[in-house]
Amino acid sequence: METQIKKLDAKALDMNVIAEAGRVLREGGLVAFPTETVYGLGGDALNPASSEKIYAAKGRPSDNPLIVHIAREEDVYRIAAKVPKEAKGLMEAFWPGPLTLIFPKTDLVPGKTTGGLATVAVRMPSDKVAQALIQAAGGFVAAPSANASGRPSTTTAAHVAEDLDGRIEMILDGGQAVIGLESTIVDVSEGKPVILRPGAITKAMMEAVIGPLDVDAAVIAADSGVKPKAPGMKYRHYAPRAQLTIVEGETEAVIAAVNRLTAEAEAAGKQVGIIATDETAGRYKKGLVKSLGARSCEEEISRHLFEVLRSFDETDADYIYSESFETAAIGQAVMNRLLKAAGYRVIEV
């Protein structure tokens, strides 16, 4: 299949392209599209055959449910059997935006879309291209991240093409995804809301609106043995080809340790990549150093994480050493992705 790539300007949307992409989705085809989090691989959420195609194109295990994207808040009531008051509070505060909520599903949603679960994940993105496409497709677009299963999520159309060219009908190119990490996921399907995946909408932001939230043990677990409530969180994710290790500690100690590890590996004939920040990049004397941006600007770090992880696959690096990013807000989401990418390999210095 030939994949068509169409450029779109969110400020002056070409509605002919949107209509064409919407038609592809309504006819059961697949269209990758930009959202404010990462690129999504879209199919008609109400068509089980489309969901099967999504799993096949990504090489994704079919027990890993898809997030259903809507463009109008009222559409949630057609696919969610119950919308509790905490969910309404979160929707009012953070939709449209990078927040996914898990509800008990109605019969309108096929089991193929939810990986056989009785619940459905729903998000209303703020990206204008995404919103227009969802409307043109009939209102319900299932879209996991638009990467081959196991690889880092995609934040540009070029990255989508790297993984999915020839496997899907169309890619809408709306430029770089602003946030760069997948949505926060909160389960509101039973009792007290639980955070299943951290993202740009943080625990503190949500607690300011609806009070205390729980966090699924798998989000903060130091090992991958804890069974997560979001099925997808159990799979190895984001892993670069090279072996990635996170080095954690005081900045000076981290720099010294990474320099030492790099020198040792190079002496043994290996190539080393280093994930640094603008503040520290100049301090690494050997290895291939890539900066995620200014540590003082969390948004820059999150926006560039997947791009940098991906870019190491185009190098001959055998090992990658990364600085650590635990901070109060989106840093937790960055660390959650980085830990998975590293297979939880961390050195404390």
Residues that bind ligand AMP (CB under 6 A): 64-65, 67, 102, 114, 117, 119-121, 144-145, 182, 185, 196, 229-233
Q: Which does 185 bind (CB under 5 to 8 A by kind): ligand AMP, Mg ion, none?
A: ligand AMP
Residues in the chain: 349
CB 205 within 8 A of CB 65: no
Compute the distance between CA of residue 273 and CA of residue 206 in angstroms, rounded to an integer. Answer: 36
Q: Which does 75 bind (CB under 5 to 8 A by kind): ligand AMP, Mg ion, none?
A: none
Q: Which does 159 bind (CB under 5 to 8 A by kind): Mg ion, ligand AMP, none?
A: none
CB 179 within 8 A of CB 125: no
Q: Which residue number places its CB atom closest to ligand AMP?
A: 232
User: Residue 40 or residue 331: which is nearer to Mg ion going by CB?
Assistant: 40
User: Residue 17 or residue 71: which is nearer to ligand AMP going by CB?
Assistant: 71
Q: Which does 122 bind (CB under 5 to 8 A by kind): Mg ion, ligand AMP, none?
A: none
Compute the distance between CA of residue 181 and CA of residue 183 in angstroms, rounded to an integer. Answer: 7
User: Residue 172 or residue 194: which is nearer to ligand AMP going by CB?
Assistant: 194
Could you tell me how far CA 14 lies from the centroid of its own chain? 26
Rg (CA), the chain: 20
Q: Which does 117 bind (CB under 5 to 8 A by kind): Mg ion, ligand AMP, none?
A: ligand AMP
Distance of closest approach, residue 117 Cβ to ligand AMP, in angstroms: 5
Q: Which residues bind Mg ion (CB under 5 A)?
A: 145
Distance of closest approach, residue 222 Cβ to ligand AMP, in angstroms: 19
DSSP state of 165: T
Distance of closest approach, residue 39 Cβ to ligand AMP, in angstroms: 10
Distance of closest approach, residue 67 Cβ to ligand AMP, in angstroms: 5
Question: What DSSP assignment string belongs to 6-29?
Answer: EE--TTS--HHHHHHHHHHHHTT-
User: Residue 23 or residue 167: which is nearer to Mg ion going by CB?
Assistant: 167
Sign of CA dihedral 164, 165, 168, 174: positive
CB 79 within 8 A of CB 106: yes
Closest CA to 67 of 21, 25, 124: 124
Distance of closest approach, residue 252 Cβ to Mg ion, in angstroms: 35
Compute the distance between CA of residue 147 and CA of residue 138 in angstroms, rounded to an integer. Answer: 24
Compute the distance between CA of residue 196 and CA of residue 213 in angstroms, rounded to an integer. Answer: 11
Distance of closest approach, residue 297 Cβ to ligand AMP, in angstroms: 24
Orientation angle between helical segments 298-311 and 331-341, nearest 10 degrees: 20
Q: Which does 274 bind (CB under 5 to 8 A by kind): ligand AMP, Mg ion, none?
A: none
User: Residue 59 or residue 282: which is nearer to Mg ion going by CB?
Assistant: 59
Distance of closest approach, residue 217 Cβ to ligand AMP, in angstroms: 14
What the block records as the tokens of 207 is: 């607690």
User: Residue 123 or residue 295: which is nearer to ligand AMP going by CB?
Assistant: 123
What the block records as the tokens of 226 is: 């804890």
User: Residue 43 or residue 174: which is nearer to ligand AMP going by CB?
Assistant: 43
